[in-house]
């Protein structure tokens, strides 16, 4: 059995197996292997079972862990903007003195100021910044992370960002899923939404396709960004060309979630202002709702109606939205834990939101559960009960992280 590797012993292995894609989950539904081991072969999980039985089988590749650990599937942060230059601490101060996020944006600060800094930055600087943030994510147990462009807003600068994201993916052990968010805001060089979106279609999309830089596109549907009506032909064009769509929607005003359903998006992210109409429409669709509590904490606005979304039967993922403006903290576990307290979420619902439901938001099928044939992406925390992890509100860091079976 020399090609097998055994991980363990674990006090608990929270497998996330056989849990539903949509709707509420009680902790009692979790399938937990007590005193377990995880058997791996060729970067993939073979099975989970009692540790002692595997020890008896004398698996060659095995160094027993010393202490008590709880294992979970490696976490998936399915919405971030961690490729950027500069910072926005002055926006933070302004918001704390009462200026709104949208007003900061209207007067030329906000996203635009990060665009100016990111355009000026060298590829090397952007890459270094990203690598540092990837290391921080790893400490919180994240093994897969989505990263958006969207601070370039020209062919040259969006391509620069996507190339940096690609390089970071090859340099760092975490898996990066790139997304093009060229439709973040209308850059100053363009007179209106339509002329900019037409430019993206004719000038940017063919380059992205040629260089195979991403398979997903995002758009910010909001006042001071893009309207539903002007976005439809852009989104339809992308779909016809085989790209997946995700939408920043219902953050300050509703509209984005219904558009996401209409255009068959994979996910709609934010949803702080979603009401009954949006929630019941989402429940009838296959669109994954992605909650971004870090943006509510950063801006000081309500959390999304996470409890209601789950109770109505929506699939809820939770992500950090890590970016220099609305969500500068980047600690997914802290944010998910705080969301759980305010929105009354079970630990099972939170862990589903950052494991297999987050995988659903990225259309990835091979991770998010500790089960046979899944990628051996695993995180272990030093504690004896999985409920201690969220209780520590992000302060309990991962003791071990395995990516495709390899200890990082
Ligand atoms: O998800 N809402 C739009 N985009 C980002 C914020 C980006 C920024 O402020 O730099 C978000 O919150
Ligand atoms: Fe975002």
pLDDT score at 1: 42
Mean pLDDT on 89-107:
90
Separation of 325 CA from ligand 1 center, angstroms?
Answer: 6
Picking from 83, 73, 75, the residue whose alpha carbon sits closest to that of residue 322 is: 83
pLDDT score at 291: 98
The model's pTM is 0.97
Separation of 408 CA from ligand 2 center, angstroms?
Answer: 28
Mean pLDDT on 309-333:
98
- Ligand 1 binding pocket includes 321 (Cβ within 6 Å): yes
Q: Where are the beta strands (DSSP E) in 346-393?
A: 378-381
Domain 5-74+368-407 has CATH 2.30.40.10: yes
Res 407 pLDDT > 80: yes
- Ligand 1 binding pocket includes 326 (Cβ within 6 Å): yes
- 168 and 178 in contact (C-beta within 8 Å)? no
% of the chain surpassing 90 pLDDT: 95
- Ligand 1 binding pocket includes 91 (Cβ within 6 Å): no
| Residues contacting 318, CB < 8 A, separation 6+ | 290, 291, 292, 293, 306, 332, 335, 336, 339, 350, 353, 354, 358
Whose alpha carbon is nearest atom 9 of ligand 1?
325
Q: What is the mean pLDDT of the chain?
A: 96
Domain 76-361 fold is TIM Barrel (3.20.20)
- Ligand 1 binding pocket includes 150 (Cβ within 6 Å): no
Mean pLDDT on 176-189:
97
pLDDT score at 2: 47
Mean pLDDT on 3-14:
96
Separation of 385 CA from ligand 2 center, angstroms?
Answer: 32
Atom of ligand 1 nearest to the CA of 151: 10
pLDDT score at 58: 84
Q: Where are the domains of the chain?
A: 5-74+368-407, 76-361
Res 366 pLDDT > 80: yes
Whose alpha carbon is nearest atom 1 of ligand 1?
321
- Choosing from 321, 324, 330, 335 the residue with most ligand 1 atoms within 8 A of its CB, the one to mutate for a pocket test is 321
Q: How do residues 40-83 score in pLDDT, each as one tens digit?
A: 999 999 999 999 999 888 888 999 999 999 999 999 999 999 99
Distance CA 64, CA 37 (A): 10
Which ligand has the minimum distance to the alpha carbon of residue 298?
Answer: 1
- Ligand 1 binding pocket includes 151 (Cβ within 6 Å): no
Give the sign of the dihedral formed by CA 371, CA 375, CA 376, CA 378. Answer: negative
Distance CA 231, CA 305 (A): 26
Mean pLDDT on 282-307:
97
5-74+368-407 and 76-361 share one fold: no
- Ligand 1 binding pocket includes 179 (Cβ within 6 Å): no
pLDDT score at 224: 87
- Choosing from 79, 325, 328, 332 the residue with most ligand 1 atoms within 8 A of its CB, the one to mutate for a pocket test is 325
Separation of 350 CA from ligand 1 center, angstroms?
Answer: 22
Mean pLDDT on 260-283:
98
């Amino acid at each position: 059995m020399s090609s097998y590797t055994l991980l363990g012993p674990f006090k608990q292995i929270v497998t996330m197996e056989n849990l539903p894609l949509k709707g509420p989950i009680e902790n009692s539904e979790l399938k937990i292997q007590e005193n377990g081991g995880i058997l791996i072969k060729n970067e993939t999980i073979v099975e989970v079972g009692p540790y002692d039985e595997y020890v008896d089988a004398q698996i060659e590749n095995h160094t027993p862990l010393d202490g008590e650990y709880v294992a979970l599937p490696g976490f998936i942060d399915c919405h971030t903007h961690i490729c950027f230059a500069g910072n926005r601490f002055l926006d933070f101060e302004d918001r704390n003195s009462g200026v709104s996020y949208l007003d900061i944006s209207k007067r030329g600060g906000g996203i635009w100021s990060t665009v100016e800094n990111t355009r000026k930055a060298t590829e090397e600087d952007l890459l270094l910044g990203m690598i540092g943030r990837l290391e921080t994510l790893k400490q919180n147990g994240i093994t897969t992370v989505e990263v958006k462009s969207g601070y370039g807003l020209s062919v040259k600068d969006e391509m620069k960002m996507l190339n940096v994201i690609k390089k970071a993916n090859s340099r760092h052990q975490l898996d990066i899923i790139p997304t093009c968010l060229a439709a973040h805001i209308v850059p100053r060089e363009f007179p209106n939404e339509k002329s900019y979106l037409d430019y993206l279609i004719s000038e940017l999309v063919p380059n992205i396709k040629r260089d195979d830089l991403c398979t997903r596109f995002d758009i910010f549907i909001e006042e001071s960004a893009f309207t539903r009506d002007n976005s439809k032909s852009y989104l339809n064009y992308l779909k016809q060309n085989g790209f997946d769509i995700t939408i920043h929607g219902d953050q300050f005003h509703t509209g984005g979630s219904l558009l996401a359903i209409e255009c068959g998006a994979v996910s709609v992210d934010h949803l702080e202002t979603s009401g009954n109409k949006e929630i019941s429409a989402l429940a009838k669709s296959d669109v994954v709702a992605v909650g971004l509590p870090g943006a509510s904490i950063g801006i000081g606005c309500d959390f999304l109606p996470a409890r209601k979304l789950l109770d109505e039967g929506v699939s809820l993922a939770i992500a950090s939205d890590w970016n220099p403006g609305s969500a500068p903290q980047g600690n997914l576990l802290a944010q998910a834990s705080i969301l759980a307290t305010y929105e009354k979420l079970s630990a099972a619902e939170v862990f589903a939101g950052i494991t297999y439901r987050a995988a659903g938001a990225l259309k990835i099928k091979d991770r998010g559960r500790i089960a046979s044939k899944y990628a051996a992406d695993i995180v272990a925390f030093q504690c004896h009960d999985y409920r201690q992890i969220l209780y520590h509100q992000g302060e309990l860091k991962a003791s071990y992280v395995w990516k495709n079976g390899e200890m990082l």
